[in-house]
Amino acid sequence: MNDTGATDRIDLLGLDRPSLVALCRDWGVKPFRGQQVMRWVHRRFESDFEAMSDLARGFRATLAERARVAAPAVISDHVAADGTRKWLLDVGQGNAVEAVFIPEVSRGTLCVSTQAGCAVNCLFCSTGKQGFARNLTAGEIVGQLWLANRLLGARAGAVDGDAEDGAPDDHDRIVTNVVFMGMGEPLLNYEATSTALRILLDDHGYGLSRRRVTVSTSGVVPMIDRLRDDVPVALAISLHAPNDALRDHLVPLNRKHPLAELMAACRRYLDRAPRDFVTFEYVMLDGVNDADEHARQLVELVRDVPCKFNLIPFNPFPDSGLRRSPPERIRSFVQRLSDAGIVTTVRKTRGDDIDAACGQLAGDVVDRTRLARRVERGRIAIARA
């Protein structure tokens, strides 16, 4: 490690507790100092080492020289009419990713990205259409949560009164839940995703319970098993089709990991999952996957998998060639699944006036004209909010 250049300084946002403790040991500092630093960074959202008042002066100087706390830079920050807030974040080389905060009465959910672009290329997803640029680092993933907490004005003081059990109270925070449903396929960026998850769950990190953190995947079967063994959080599967022929078409990854394998992986996952069900996400595409017959096949497919369904009305984007199912079709689909005893909800589309809804997230910012147009649309949304 080169200790002098600013860019070579180690980014603490992406270090889990064992790595921070090891770093301290390497630097001849007592390992528990790593824990203290972790709390300053992830519980008080501090980036200035000088402000970390209970660390020895010498250690603060070492940190300033060799480390940094640097979340991705904010390119734009938009608030939708419904309070949904979206940040476009610069991850270098013309790439941008998005993080979206969705406030609700009893919770605040942050949707984070794990890759710039995505290689899976689902037919209905604008991220997929942009192709794959690169994996985010653990620091860039955690950085989205760190930044959201700072920008939302989460009370850093929440950390002060909780020395007993180390876990902050939910109502002291604004982000209470995190979903890995932004840009990218989290399980195709496994190392960074699992490190980020450990930091989110750590009592000296964000202290989130496993039930409040959800990883959504298009079905990378071997990595579902790894997640189960390493850091089992709530699992959502992007199903979208009830048979292999249709799913091969909609979610190309299905050709590699077909439905029977995926259902078996879900059953294995449930042995260790923090919830006793898997959530199946199902995008409702007019005339493609929304017939009553598809619902009937779905009921059959998931017979042995305790699950809930979350139907997502398709969010259109330019040139997709697809349409959202009409409300009466969605109602009929819900009815069929519910009649079979499957709890089924329809996702409320949030923030669509600022393109913050599922599948509408931006990718490459090399196309400045397009970005400028989006920013302009966002400004209009703010004015309306």
The residue behind tokens 């059990």 is 165
Comparing C-alpha atoms, which of 9, 11, 57 is closest to residue 33? Answer: 57
238 φ, ψ (degrees, to nearest 5): -80, 95
Which one of the spans 6-14, 42-50, 122-130, 204-212 is the region binding ligand SAH (CB under 6 A)? 122-130
Q: What number of chain residues touch ligand SAH (CB under 6 A)?
A: 16
* Residue 184 touches ligand SF4, criterion: CB under 6 A: yes
The neighbour count for residue 60, using CB atoms within 10 Å, is 17
Exactly one of 40, 45, 87, 124 binds ligand SAH (CB under 6 A); that residue is 124
Q: What residues numbered 287-346 form the site for ligand SAH, per CB under 6 A? A: 312, 314-315
Which C-beta is closer to ligand SF4: that of 314 or that of 333?
314
Exactly one of 207, 351, 359, 363 binds ligand SAH (CB under 6 A); that residue is 359
| CB 6 to ligand SF4: min, Å | 32
Q: Which residues are catalytic?
A: 98, 358
| Burial environment of residue 346 by CB neighbours within 10 A (0 to 12, 13 to 18, 19 or more) | middle
- What DSSP string runs through 13-61? GG--HHHHHHHHHHTT--THHHHHHHHHHHTS----GGG-TTS-HHHHH
Q: Mark out the alpha helices in the chain (DSSP H runs).
A: 17-26, 32-42, 57-66, 126-129, 138-151, 190-201, 221-230, 244-250, 259-270, 292-301, 327-339, 368-384
Which C-beta is closer to ligand SAH: that of 40 or that of 314?
314
Binding pattern for the stretch 161-200 against ligand SAH, x by CB under 6 A and - elsewhere: --------------------x---x---------------
**How far apart, in whole angstroms, are the C-alpha atoms of residue 313 and residue 246?**
18
Binding pattern for the stretch 235-254 against ligand SAH, x by CB under 6 A and - elsewhere: ---x----------------
Exactly one of 15, 38, 118, 263 binds ligand SF4 (CB under 6 A); that residue is 118
Exactly one of 194, 218, 254, 325 binds ligand SAH (CB under 6 A); that residue is 218
**How far apart, in whole angstroms, are the C-alpha atoms of residue 20 and residue 51?**
19
**How far apart, in whole angstroms, are the C-alpha atoms of residue 87 and residue 12?**
22
* Residue 120 touches ligand SF4, criterion: CB under 6 A: yes
Which residue is at the shortest CB distance from ligand SAH? 359
Q: What is the DSSP letter of 120?
A: S
* Residue 219 touches ligand SF4, criterion: CB under 6 A: no
* Residue 281 touches ligand SAH, criterion: CB under 6 A: yes
